[in-house]
Amino acid sequence: MTLKIQAITSTDGLNVEVGKSYYVESDELAGEFKVTYLEVIPSTRNASGVDVRAEIEVPSTRAAAFTYHDVAIDCILEDAR
């Protein structure tokens, strides 16, 4: 079972909201990206916790196209204001 949410506060106190842009740094990419989806899912590491994943919109090399990547909420470091 998963839970779709509109906003969440990360472990470092950053309030992450769907539709806003943030600086993201993960193993695959780094830069400012828009969060399009937040999801709370049961943890795969242990039976007693949950993981929070964010889907981000990444501009594609093709004109006016985007790809979408899932990242852990901890990869979102700061608001892109």
In tens digits, the chain (81 residues) has pLDDT values of 567 789 998 878 889 999 999 999 999 899 999 999 999 887 766 666 778 889 999 988 777 788 899 999 989 999 887
What residues does each domain of the chain span? Answer: 3-79
- Please state, as a whole number, how many other Cβ atoms lie within 10 Å of the Cβ of residue 56: 24
- Sign of the dihedral through C-alpha 13, 43, 35, 66: positive
Class of domain 3-79: mainly beta
Distances (CA, A) of 36 to 44, 47, 55, 80: 23, 27, 6, 15
Strand partners, 68: 57
Between CA 76 and CA 80, with CA 78 as vertex, the angle to 5 degrees is: 110
pLDDT of 69 reads: 92
pLDDT of 1 reads: 58
**In the chain, where does DSSP find H-type helix?**
none
